[in-house]
């Protein structure tokens, strides 16, 4: 029996999907569990596997094309099945499920297919500039010049006719010869471009569309403000070196940050909140989103109940989720439910930056690189290891003093990391 495969709803916010790649073609044998296609959703590109066995009889959405959820994606059945009859049957059942229009006399005109045309590169031929000829003290073939000027020009090998005179009635004098720079040529003043103007147009992926929409909504809806603080990382560096000497232990500075953020949120619950029109929601649970760069943008896997996990456990989970995100294996539920977000660009050498809040969170922490700087310790100038972090806050839920107190607690934990073992 033939099976109609429709565009699946792969996340709770998905309304449309794009077929990134078909792994099978019409006529291929399909086994249960085979990967049919990569479907690009509003959150990630995910592999879509078949729940049926048979032959792939029909493909309804081509690579690169998008369609709403429940649109006809493919048909799997016996190679002798009548595809045309199956398509008619499917369209008939869809039409029956579609509610009648208020005015049955109105008939929708089918939309014409729009064919995108590649815009040719703009080419401009360089135009040679107009080169001004030198002013000459010439009227009817006679050159007016002083004897000294003529002699000096002859000694320099300069044609007196090429010199513009500055004396009375255009008379060429000694200074005119001495200051003569020669005639500018077109070759000296003409710029010839070695290339033409051109551009490349890249179609926006579903992920880029969603990133643009959500970050735009966050930036222009939530009133952002920023608080920055510098951290003394000497103790954190020593702590990490000692911890990583233990068997089966491997923690990063990002793991320290995530753990310290989670513990600090226990004491500053208002930072662990979200805004709604009727109320402020204070989250008692602590789920930390960790921003991860992928090929086409950014995803935010979530470490749930991060305050209850060890730094080693956090490190293992972050690494697993990041690898899944980059290989397009991550599931929507693994990117949902964050109450606070951490964005770390320190591994790229970025010392200081600000981030846009990951709605509906009330705050996001931007973490820079550890750098060696001149610092004062015990009234003595020394070389210290410093890391700068910036907290972006939604002023509707987190006031300046509230955000500042959170950063003070976070700073105390990072600069005394042994406290994180006691939590």
Task: Quote the CATH superfamily of domain 206-422.
Answer: Chloramphenicol acetyltransferase-like domain (3.30.559.10)
How far is 332 from 11, CA to CA, in rounded Å?
6
Residue 5 C-alpha from the chain's centroid: 33
Counting as low any pLDDT under 50, the low residues of the chain are 100-140
Cite the DSSP H helix spans in 179-223: 186-189, 206-221
Q: What angle do CA 84, 85, 88 make, to 5 degrees?
A: 85
Class of domain 147-189 as given by CATH = few secondary structures
Nearest one of 76, 186, 200 to 126, comparing CA atoms: 186
Pairing of strands 35-40, 45-49: antiparallel
**What are the residue boundaries of the structural domains of the chain, listed by start?**
3-95, 147-189, 206-422
The pLDDT score that the predictor gives to residue 74 is 92
The pLDDT score that the predictor gives to residue 185 is 52
- The per-residue pLDDT for range 168-196, each reduced to its tens digit, is 667 787 788 888 877 655 555 667 777 78
The pLDDT score that the predictor gives to residue 118 is 39
How far is 397 from 339, CA to CA, in rounded Å?
13
The pLDDT score that the predictor gives to residue 336 is 94
Choosing among 3.40.120.10, 2.40.50.100, 1.10.10.10, 3.30.360.10, the CATH entry for 3-95 is: 2.40.50.100
Catalytic residues: 395
- What are the strands, taking DSSP E only, across 378-418? 380-394
**Percent of the chain predicted with pLDDT > 70:** 86
- The per-residue pLDDT for range 260-314, each reduced to its tens digit, is 999 999 999 999 999 999 999 999 999 999 999 988 789 999 999 999 999 999 9
The pLDDT score that the predictor gives to residue 400 is 97
Three-state secondary structure readout of 93-133:
HHHHHCCCCCCCCCCCCCCCCCCCCCCCCCCCCCCCCCCCC
pTM, whole model, 2 decimals? 0.64
């Amino acid at each position: 029996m033939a099976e109609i495969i429709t565009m699946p709803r792969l996340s709770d916010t998905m309304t449309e999907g794009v077929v990134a790649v078909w792994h099978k073609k019409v006529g291929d044998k399909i086994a249960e569990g085979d990967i049919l296609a990569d479907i690009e959703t509003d959150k990630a590109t995910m592999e879509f596997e078949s729940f049926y066995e048979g032959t792939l009889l029909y493909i309804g959405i081509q690579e690169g094309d998008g369609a709403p959820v429940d649109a006809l994606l493919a048909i799997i059945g016996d190679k002798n099945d009548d595809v045309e009859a199956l398509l008619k049957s499917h369209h008939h059942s869809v039409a029956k499920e579609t509610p009648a229009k208020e005015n049955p006399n109105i008939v929708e005109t089918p939309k014409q297919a729009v064919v995108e045309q590649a815009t040719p590169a703009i080419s401009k031929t360089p135009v040679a500039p107009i080169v001004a000829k030198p002013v000459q003290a010439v009227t009817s073939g006679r050159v007016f010049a002083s004897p000294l000027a003529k002699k000096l020009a002859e000694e320099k090998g300069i044609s007196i006719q090429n010199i513009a005179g500055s004396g009375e009635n255009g008379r060429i004098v000694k200074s005119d010869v001495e200051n003569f720079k020669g005639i500018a040529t077109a070759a000296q003043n003409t710029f010839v471009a070695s290339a033409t103007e051109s551009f490349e147009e890249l179609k926006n992926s579903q992920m880029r569309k969603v990133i643009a929409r959500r970050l735009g909504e966050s930036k222009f809806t939530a009133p952002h403000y920023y608080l920055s603080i510098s951290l003394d990382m000497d103790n954190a560096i020593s702590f990490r070196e000692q911890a990583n000497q233990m068997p089966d232990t491997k923690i990063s500075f990002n793991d320290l940050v995530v753990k310290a953020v989670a513990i600090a949120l226990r004491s500053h619950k208002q930072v662990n909140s979200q805004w709604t029109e009727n109320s402020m929601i204070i989250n008692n649970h602590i789920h930390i989103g960790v921003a991860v760069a992928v090929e086409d943008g950014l995803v935010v896997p979530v470490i749930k109940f991060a305050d209850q996990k060890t730094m080693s456990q956090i490190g293992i989970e972050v690494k697993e989720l990041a690898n899944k995100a980059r290989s397009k294996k991550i599931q929507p539920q693994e990117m949902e439910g964050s109450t606070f977000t951490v964005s770390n660009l320190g591994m790229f050498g970025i010392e200081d930056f600000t981030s846009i809040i990951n709605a509906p969170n009330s705050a996001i922490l931007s973490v820079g690189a550890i750098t060696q700087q001149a610092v004062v310790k015990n009234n003595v100038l020394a070389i210290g290891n410093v890391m700068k972090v910036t907290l972006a806050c939604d002023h509707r839920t987190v006031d300046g003093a509230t955000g500042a107190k959170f950063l003070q607690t976070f700073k105390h934990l990072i600069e005394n990391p042994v406290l994180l073992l006691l939590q």
